[in-house]
């Protein structure tokens, strides 16, 4: 207990004589927990997952530089977002490691460790070693890291955070001690962060409020960052054809229901991040923040600017694709929260008395423990889904076109993964075509005699050929080929719009290799997509009673004018 009291006293007095170990314990523990949560999942038998295969196909087929400077090349990969650093990061791994996913995951872990370490260094510009280490450790115990350590496709969020924090770090160093090289490094890092993900651009808004030097100097130092944002805006408009982006469209994003939906979504963020401990966690954080701002009222405005800059980019995501888990969308909010809590804790520790300091350290310890259950739960949930992709990858590598299979549910919802994997198999020089995927009973070939399906118990594909007669009969019992169905659709300027009918309830799906296999959709909507000429689309309707009906195969043309397909039929 006396050691704890001594540390509190040292923090209050600003004494650094407690030794170098205090400066290392936070980051070391953070990296240890990071590896503990992620190493087995990422470096065991993990294969390519989610968007990995499409990213790899794009950088194998097309020059990397073209993804930065050629709109056609970039939009063939993604017309919705501009994140070429992600492809550059994969290209580095591909050049160093070839098609060996284990080493890609090692890079992912090192990048997450880099975020942790740089967060600590950034905090050390303003706070003592113990609260800086606490902020770094809190960051690692969060659910977003447990999620993202197993998803290579989130690399741009991770490395974008590294660039953004380095930019802020060298900006502060420049303000404290002039040097054009420091400012140049800061601006360059800011530019790299922008190529990773646009969510780091609002850093510009925070720079004039950084509590360093005088406001004129801060404002003048912010000018090259503003110029960088202007350059980025021109580049983005050139590459995407507009300044907007995302999966939805302007009419979707600005719909009247957005305000209520946004508010409801924002209120769920604490529970998404922490689960049941959200209330006590944020209650403690609120108390620390009230104390901090009571002593530093001038910092309330910068805090609000930072909060707006972090939460603002989430708003378009609320409707499409939705924020339903502590995944990459909550990575930056969690990182920012950990930074803020470290600032709050430092202020409280500096002014605490000996007895209250002990209680405060105990509360900080509780804060560190509260995110862990949610993080561990997320680690396991993502691991289970990841194993579906792993099994799918192994199955495609090891089988040829004379074998048919039904993809796992999570893979089926991300069918471009299968398409990319098939292309990679061909690029790798394997003989024989990939096995045949059956994405819906509609496509069960009458002559098919052999079928494999994913088994969750063994996390592998098993022979399900014996179930083929029952599958066919079950489908015939549910299928109503003459039921009424309609679809109005268009594909103009890479915006696919649709309205299905005539039913007010039930579930809708698109069956299309280009639209992601079996994709659940609302009865009406718009999506920003890159579709190849002549792709075939089926609409599937599933009634509340369980019967299904399908449209004909509809061919999608580029610049497809509004078209309506309809079957009157009998209900």
pLDDT value of residue 353: 58
Q: How many residues does the chain have?
A: 571
Separation of alpha carbons 278 and 284, rounded Å: 10
Separation of alpha carbons 548 and 507, rounded Å: 9
Confidence of residue 357 (pLDDT cuts 50, 70, 90): low
First to last CA, the chain: 77
pLDDT value of residue 429: 63
pLDDT in tens, 279-329: 999 999 999 999 999 999 989 999 999 999 998 888 877 776 778 889 999
Overall average pLDDT of the 25-33 stretch = 52
Separation of alpha carbons 68 and 70, rounded Å: 6
Residue 459 DSSP SS3? coil
Separation of alpha carbons 540 and 544, rounded Å: 13
pLDDT value of residue 438: 87
- What is the widest separation between alpha-carbon atoms in the chain? 84
The pair of structure tokens assigned to 228 is 């960088």
What are the φ and ψ backbone dihedral angles of 121, each rounded to 5 degrees? -60, -40
CA angle 92, 93, 97 (to 5 degrees): 130
Separation of alpha carbons 274 and 267, rounded Å: 13
> Which helix (H) or strand (E) covers residue 549, if one does?
strand 548-550
Overall average pLDDT of the 453-471 stretch = 89
Which tops the pLDDT comparison, 266 or 216?
216
The pair of structure tokens assigned to 531 is 């579709």
pLDDT value of residue 19: 41
Position 455 pLDDT exceeds 70: yes
Q: Tell me the pLDDT of the chain averaged across its residues.
A: 84
213-236 burial, b for 16+ CB within 10 Å, e for fewer? eeeeebeebbebbeebbeebeebb
pLDDT in tens, 391-425: 898 888 888 878 889 888 888 878 888 888 888 88
Phi-psi group of 22: left, alpha or beta (phi > 0 → left; psi -120 to 50 → alpha; rest → beta): alpha
pTM assigned to the model = 0.86
pLDDT value of residue 314: 84
Place of tokens 């009458």: 446
378-392 burial, b for 16+ CB within 10 Å, e for fewer? bbeebbebbbbbbbb
Overall average pLDDT of the 364-372 stretch = 84
Separation of alpha carbons 198 and 384, rounded Å: 30
Overall average pLDDT of the 465-473 stretch = 90
Separation of alpha carbons 193 and 438, rounded Å: 41
Confidence of residue 16 (pLDDT cuts 50, 70, 90): very low
pLDDT value of residue 516: 64
405-439 burial, b for 16+ CB within 10 Å, e for fewer? bbbbebbbebbbbbbbbbbbbeeeeeeeebbbbbb
pLDDT value of residue 2: 47
pLDDT in tens, 420-439: 888 888 776 665 677 888 88
pLDDT value of residue 5: 47
């Amino acid at each position: 207990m006396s050691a704890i009291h001594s540390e509190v006293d040292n923090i209050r007095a600003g004494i650094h004589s407690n030794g170098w170990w205090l400066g290392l314990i936070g980051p070391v523990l953070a990296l240890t927990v990071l590896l503990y949560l992620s190493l087995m999942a990422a470096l065991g038998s993990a294969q390519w997952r989610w968007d990995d295969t499409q990213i790899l196909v794009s950088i194998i087929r097309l020059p990397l530089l073209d993804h930065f400077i050629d709109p056609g090349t970039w939009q063939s990969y993604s017309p919705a977002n501009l994140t070429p650093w992600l492809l550059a990061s994969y290209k580095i791994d591909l050049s160093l490691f070839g098609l060996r996913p284990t080493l890609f995951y090692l890079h992912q872990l090192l990048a997450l460790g880099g975020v942790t370490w740089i967060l600590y260094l950034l905090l050390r510009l303003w706070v003592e070693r113990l609260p800086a280490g606490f902020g770094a450790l809190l960051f690692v115990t969060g659910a977003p890291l447990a999620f993202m350590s197993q998803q290579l496709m989130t690399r741009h969020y991770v490395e974008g955070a590294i660039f953004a924090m380095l930019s802020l770090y060298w900006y502060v160093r420049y303000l404290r001690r002039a040097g054009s090289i420091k400012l140049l490094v800061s601006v360059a890092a800011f530019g790299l962060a922008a190529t990773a993900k646009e969510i780091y651009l609002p850093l510009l808004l925070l720079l004039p409020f950084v509590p360093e030097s005088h406001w004129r100097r801060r404002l003048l130092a912010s000018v090259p960052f503003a110029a960088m944002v202007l350059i980025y805006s021109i580049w983005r408009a050139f590459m995407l054809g507009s300044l907007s982006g995302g999966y939805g469209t302007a009419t979707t994003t600005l719909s009247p229901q957005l305000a209520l939906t946004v508010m409801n979504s924002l209120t769920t963020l604490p529970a998404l991040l922490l689960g049941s401990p959200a209330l006590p966690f944020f209650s403690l954080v609120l108390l620390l923040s009230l104390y901090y701002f009571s002593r530093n009222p001038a910092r309330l405005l910068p805090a609000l600017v930072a909060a707006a800059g972090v939460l603002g980019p989430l708003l378009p995501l609320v409707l499409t694709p939705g924020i339903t888990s502590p995944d990459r969308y909550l990575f930056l909010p969690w990182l920012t929260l950990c930074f803020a809590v470290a600032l709050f804790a430092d202020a409280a520790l500096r002014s605490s008395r000996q007895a209250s300091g002990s209680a405060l350290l105990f509360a900080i310890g509780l804060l560190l423990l509260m995110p862990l259950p949610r993080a561990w739960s997320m680690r396991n949930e993502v691991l289970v889904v990841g194993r579906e992709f792993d099994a799918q990858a192994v199955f495609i590598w090891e089988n040829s076109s004379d074998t048919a299979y039904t993809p796992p549910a999570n893979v089926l919802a991300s069918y471009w993964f299968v398409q990319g994997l098939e292309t990679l198999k061909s690029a790798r020089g394997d003989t024989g075509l990939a096995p045949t995927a059956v994405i819906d009973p509609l496509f069960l070939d009458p002559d098919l005699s052999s079928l494999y399906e994913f088994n969750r118990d063994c996390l592998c594909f098993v022979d399900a050929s014996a179930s083929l007669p029952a599958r066919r009969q079950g489908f015939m019992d549910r299928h109503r080929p003459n039921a009424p169905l309609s679809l109005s659709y268009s594909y103009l300027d890479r915006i696919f719009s649709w309205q299905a009918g005539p039913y007010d309830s039930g579930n809708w799906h698109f069956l299309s290799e280009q639209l992601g296999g079996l994709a659940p959709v609302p009865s009406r909507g718009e999506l920003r997509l890159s579709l190849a000429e002549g792709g075939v689309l089926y609409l599937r309707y599933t009634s509340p009673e369980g019967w299904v009906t399908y449209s004909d195969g509809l061919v999608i043309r580029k610049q497809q004018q509004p078209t309506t397909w309809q079957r009157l039929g009998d209900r």
